[in-house]
Chain A
Amino acid sequence: MRVSLDWLSEFITLDKPAEEIADILTMAGLEVEAIELADDDLILEVNVTPNRGDCLSLLGIARELAVLTGKPLKMLPCEVKGETEPGKKIEIRDETLCRRYTGRIIKNIKPGPSPRWLQKRLESYGMRPINNIVDVTNYVLVELGHPLHAFDLNTLKGDSIIIDTADKIYQKIKTLDGIERKLPEDALVIADTEGPVAVAGVMGGALTEVEESTTSIFLESAWFKPQSIRKTSKALGLGSESSYRFERGTDLEILPVALDRATCLLQELAGGVPSKKLDAYPVKFTPARIETSPGRVNRLLGTAIEKKNMISILDRLGFSPEEKASSIMVTPPSYRNDIEREADIVEEIARIYGYNGIPTALPSSSLSAEGIGPMRKFMRQVKNVIRGAGFDEAINFSFMSPDALDFLELAPGDIRRNAVRILNPLRKEESLLRTTIIMSLLEDLKYNLSRDIRSIRLFEVSKVFIRDEGEDLPREPLKLGGIFMAQKTYRFWQKNGEDFYIVKGVVEALLDEFRITGRSFEKCQEPFLHPGKSAKIVIGGKDAGFVGVLSPVLKEKLDIKAREDVLVFELDLYMVIENLPAVPVYGPIPKFPYMERDVAIVVEEYLRAADILKLIREYPSEYIEDAVVFDLYKGGKLGPGKKSLAFNIRYRSGGKTLTEEEIDSIHKGVIASLLEKTGGSIRQ
């Protein structure tokens, strides 16, 4: 709220510099965000929190300053003379939504422009002057925080002002802005005998608008239920200075004061003969009675504020404190509808006492400290392993474009198509929650490539969101995703060979880190990957992710011109956690030496190294300790369709040192078995 110091000084004497006033207000919860110089005036930009609707006025701000500085509040003189019979009656048909409605008729009024001083004040607040009648209602709104509305009396049909919900009776109204609006059934309306004339608390109707030709008005000062006004304003997409205040709760007791204040101003500026006041007040204001114990206040705040000091603070706030033996009984004023229970009293005492006067005391430490917990520890470890492999961490928005699913060519039944849809996205491209990290990483790749960055290794750890039919909330699996592209870079040490194995190695390093043994890499069906250069990551027999070269089709669709492959991987981290081994149990270190033998065999190209290794490991000899593949060769004399794989086999006995002869005999057996089972031959 914009507060003109010039205008504010009508309510309270300001004998301090603006910065000091700003500081006093800020430290009491009315944060002054800026001080603006305007001609010969200073404007404070005050951030009024939603609980303090009472401070959305100069009166409210002045009231706070009075509490904080001890300066008295100045009340504005106002005396309404010459009261005639109003000739209208007020009919409140929903007393919950409208607890009080006051109004009066002013006849022989002359609309015209407001005087300059008034226009200037409205402008200081940020309002556009319209005519003296509307301007006065706005002026009083800023002064007292109470919204008023003026109807052109001659357009109001019948002798009743009806306050009722729209239901099915009042379906449509053309509002002041000229738009015909359909009203929600639970919207509160003001109606005459013919139909709705205003959306209560939100906006007046076009038909009853005050114009230059207006000669008489009906001036309304009413109270409407905050929740109802908010709902209607949201439903119609209509917000106004009035609805803003009604939503935050207005003062039931100020209605006639605001009405009289506006009447006085109107008489002064536009003439006119006011009628007697109409005041329908079916549900009276009942002040809250709150008991608070000084001991409890001090315990909650960690303070030792004396009871009499608390009483003095509450008295300055207008809370009419009554001292009891061990407590204070408080009756908050009608404008403080935010004060409902003891906690609110505690805050008021703390606020006026000053937060910075409250001492500090570290709580005693707890023995149940769990530290960061296993999940966070795990995530740190994951990130550090991947980081060690040269990948920088990316963080992307959790959003995804609906086009991404087709772009990745996901099959119709693919679970990643079960994306959560946002009803009110900022852009269509951000209307789904992502079900995979890959699309975001591809976008990061494009972003960096277009900036001439040639070596790209990025990873991200994030939840993705899978909608489950029949569940309110989606599943949130935790994924690790990565992207790799190494274009020609001027590094001294070049690596040769397929990038696939570099990236697969990163995944293996991670699984090794966590000692995940039951894992394999199987043929992969991901539609966005190169079918021959990709693998499904299988952990504990379940599909846990993929690693591979982006398919040439996608690369082209992404308009990536570089010759080098783009590699991606994604791994379900919860599946890694599920397969974490138990605490290792120590096994004795071998006492006897091992012996090694190498063998290279030429086999059909489609045979997989893993399968041949499996044959070696399954060979019936207790002496085979381990076997690894250490060379792959194609071409040359081998001819098409063939490849040579070289294996190193390690033999060891747990009970003795094996002799050369023993090893040779087993090794011969292994080779014979391999050749027989693979149909291969020894490489010459």
Chain B
Amino acid sequence: MDDLSSIKQSFLHELSLVQGIAGLDDIRVKYLGKKGVLTGKLKTLGALPPDERRSAGIVLNEMKVLMENELALRKQALKNRELEKKLASEALDITIPGNYTPPGRLHPLTQTMLDIIDIFSAMGFSVEEGPEVETDYYNFEALNIPREHPARDMQDTFYVSDDVVLRTHTSPVQIRAMQKRKPPFRIIAPGKVYRCDADISHTPMFHQIEGLMVGEDISFSHLKAVLEAFLHRFFSPDVPVRFRPSYFPFTEPSAEVDIGCIFCKGAGCRTCKTSGWIEILGAGMVNPRVFEMSGYDPQVYSGFAFGMGIERIAMLKYSIDDIRLFYENDIRFLRQF
């Protein structure tokens, strides 16, 4: 059987030299084919005496199984190698950019507005809309700003006719909401407003968000809590908030709301004009006269209203120093947000 072991040696040796799947077949034929080396040995079994035939048969069959297994293993190995080669040849330059359309950006004012709306929405406020071209009644009269009232000086108005204006604030939506809804309700009204004013810090069109909450026991404490919650959510939970008395014809008492300067942390800088505070919104309890004009009994209902300029808030949020940038629509600006 020394003969057999040398057959095995040469089989394994030849197998290790094969580089292609085609070569494997040659080896199979050489050893296991009809005229193969091992097949030849098997044919000689018949000539052996019966007692030797049996044990020699076992040995030869084991050899056959071994060769078949080795051939299969080798075949798999060669296949794997070929696949690897193929894959390697197909490799891409993965640093070349993907084929996509870079998404456009929402305008920073839109993004700011969405953030603000979402915060108030989470506090149960619904969104209300109103026309941008308004009657004098909704824009002024119903908000307790009669003609010849000095408060009209607070807002330079674009007129379309004697009785029709471009709304100077989102506050007329308060009146429209009161006419449409039944208390208790809480709404916000985002939108464009217009004032006849253009300089380094004013544009003739800008954006506001108005808020109104009406019910039977709404107090100044509620106003403070809601606005504080908003400011803490929007800016940061530890930003200081202060309320100070002010005047709006449609609220009484009225307040201006300041936050501690987010740039200098109250130390005093250019943005806060060294005061350490930044004025952020106007607010107050709904003036009973406004309720009366809209047919609400101020003995029964109370409410608060607030309003804020989106540009100002967006400027603080993104450190933008010139309001006019919002309306130039320079793509290099728009793509930063």
Contacts and interface: CB of A to CB of B under 8 A. Distances in A.
Interface of A: 26-29, 31, 33-34, 49-52, 226-228, 230-231, 247-248, 299-303, 341-344, 346-347, 350-351, 355-356, 358-363, 365-366, 368-373, 375-376, 380, 383, 386-399, 420-426, 430, 433, 444, 447-448, 451, 453, 456-459, 462-463, 465, 472-474, 476, 492-493
Contacts of B158: 422-425
A344 B253 CA distance: 7
A383 B110 contact: yes
Most B C-beta atoms less than 10 A away, residue of A226, A355, A375, A472:
A355
A49 B282 CA distance: 13
A388 B103 contact: yes
B78 interface: no
Contacts of B133: 420, 433, 465, 473-474, 476
A373 B150 CA distance: 37
A92 to B, nearest CB: 21
A362 B218 CA distance: 10
Contact of A472 (B110, B164, B256): B164
25 contacts: A50-B150, A227-B148, A227-B149, A299-B217, A299-B302, A300-B285, A302-B220, A343-B253, A355-B245, A356-B242, A369-B126, A370-B127, A392-B331, A392-B334, A393-B105, A393-B334, A395-B109, A420-B133, A422-B159, A423-B160, A424-B196, A447-B328, A451-B332, A457-B104, A493-B99
A56 to B, nearest CB: 11
Most A C-beta atoms less than 10 A away, residue of B105, B117, B150, B185:
B150
A34 B104 CA distance: 43
Interface in B202-229: 203-205, 213, 215, 217-222, 224-226, 228-229
Contacts of B107: 392-395
B23 interface: no
Contacts of B110: 383, 393, 395
B219 A299 contact: yes
A343 B246 contact: no
Nearest to B186: A366
Contacts of B131: 473, 476
Contact of B153 (A50, A228, A387, A462): A50
Contact of B287 (A343, A383, A451): A343
Closest A-B pairs by Cβ, 4 of them: A302-B221, A29-B245, A302-B219, A49-B247
A421 B160 CA distance: 6
Nearest to B254: A347
A365 B127 contact: no
B132 A476 contact: yes
Contact of B127 (A33, A343, A376, A421): A376
Given A347-B254, A393-B107, A463-B132, A422 B166 contact: yes
Nearest to B298: A343
B184 interface: yes
Nearest to A33: B273
Contact of B329 (A361, A375, A394): A394
A359 B243 CA distance: 11
Contacts of A398: 132, 166, 192, 194, 205
A396 B327 contact: yes
Interface string B157-196: 0111101101000000000000000001110000010101
Contacts of B287: 343
Nearest to B198: A426
B159 A423 contact: yes
A365 B124 contact: yes
B100 to A, nearest CB: 8
Most B C-beta atoms less than 10 A away, residue of A394, A447, A465:
A394
A444 B330 CA distance: 8
A456 B330 CA distance: 10
